[in-house]
């Protein structure tokens, strides 16, 4: 079995040309996220927390939100990530993917690419607030 430190060292080696910071237990790499993800060793990651462009909001002030003309183009792009997430996650790893509620069902369909993992692998935190800053006292309550 590979230890946490061995996984970290393997990731650090794979990302070395792109690293802009390396500290004890932390790495920061600069570059295209899909390209960097493809460099990571298989089964080396315990947790993926990702907040890709929502696409469905089509807001000009959110980077990448208007990059796709059609939903299908966005889903094809996300599918490329899903393949890599499956490859790099440890068998007991978890994925948290922030997404717009209107795209959640579509993104859940990508789960078929990750069928070898437990059914509770993927979680989709969604923003339900009516404004950019929802008070903590109302966060998570059904509306």
Q: How far apart are CA 94 and CA 53, in angstroms?
A: 20
Element (H, E) at 46: strand 45-50
pLDDT confidence of residue 77: 86
Angle at which helix 71-88 crosses helix 101-109, to 10 degrees, equals 60
- Series of mean pLDDT values for 10-residue runs along the chain (143 residues): 89 97 95 96 93 68 68 84 91 82 69 49 51 46 43
pLDDT confidence of residue 78: 85
Count CB-CB contacts under 10 A for residue 37.
19
Do the Cβ atoms of 43 and 89 come closer than 8 Å? yes
pLDDT confidence of residue 117: 46
pLDDT confidence of residue 88: 94
pLDDT confidence of residue 127: 53
């Amino acid at each position: 079995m590979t230890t946490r430190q061995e996984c970290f060292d393997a990731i650090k080696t794979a990302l070395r040309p792109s690293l802009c910071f390396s500290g004890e237990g932390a790495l920061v790499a600069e570059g295209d996220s899909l390209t960097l993800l493809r460099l990571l060793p298989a089964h080396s990651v315990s947790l993926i927390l990702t907040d890709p462009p929502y696409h469905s909001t089509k807001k000009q002030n959110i980077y990448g939100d208007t990059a796709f003309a059609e939903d299908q183009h966005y889903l094809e792009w996300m599918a490329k990530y899903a393949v890599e997430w499956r490859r790099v996650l440890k068998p007991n790893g978890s994925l948290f993917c922030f997404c717009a509620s209107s795209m959640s069902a579509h993104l859940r369909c990508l789960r078929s690419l990750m069928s070898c993992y437990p059914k509770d692998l993927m979680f989709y935190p969604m923003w339900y607030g009516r404004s950019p800053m929802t008070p903590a006292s109302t966060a998570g309550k059904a509306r």
